[in-house]
Structure 1
């Protein structure tokens, strides 16, 4: 249902089906599936090779959108928090990156492009246009 105008109401669905209904973000569902301390399915990113059960974790998934979820650790275990991290505007660090982002904004007719525009969904080929335009 990413990037659509579809809307619905949990209560209406619950009343129609006569069962409890809870609608959750797709990455929250995926997060609950991966919210484990099993080192055979978890791989650390960075210098450490250790998986620590008390540390905050995150998951990102590129598809029709760029979904993200965070797993903060707390006394009762670990929760799953949805995020709209894919909607974060791209921050550039040098002139070359600024050129790429400017070209993508022109191509898409937007005032700001986000990570979702570059990494997922129907605009995921966005980065090739500025590269061609800049002759890179």
Structure 2
């Protein structure tokens, strides 16, 4: 959510840190101008052209929670029911640990479960925030997504 760089090079949060590249390169002033938006880091698969694939997701796990930017989800009026049920279930940590364990090189280079705990806690916290966003906006859940 807070990483608009995937879609828009100019946006790096509501109150970006002065060291953010978008601020250092004087690009942040273009953030709210829709005519300046540049789509980047997106692929469309020929086999499934109706779905966008985001690549190069350089998440910022230490970005302050009170400065998250929901610009990426503006205009989205429904979310996958299965994904939301995972966020609500309380089993996200277990699923993430299992998934990350499959990539042994990544797992070991980050110190295993102990080393990944902080990152996983951040992902869980962000999941709770997106759930609250879905509730606040009364967004629909879609079984087919």
Normalising by structure 2, we get a TM-score of: 0.26
Which structure has greater helix proportion? 2
Q: Which structure would you say has the larger RCO, counting Cα contacts within 8 Å and 6 or more residues apart?
A: 2
Larger radius of gyration: 1
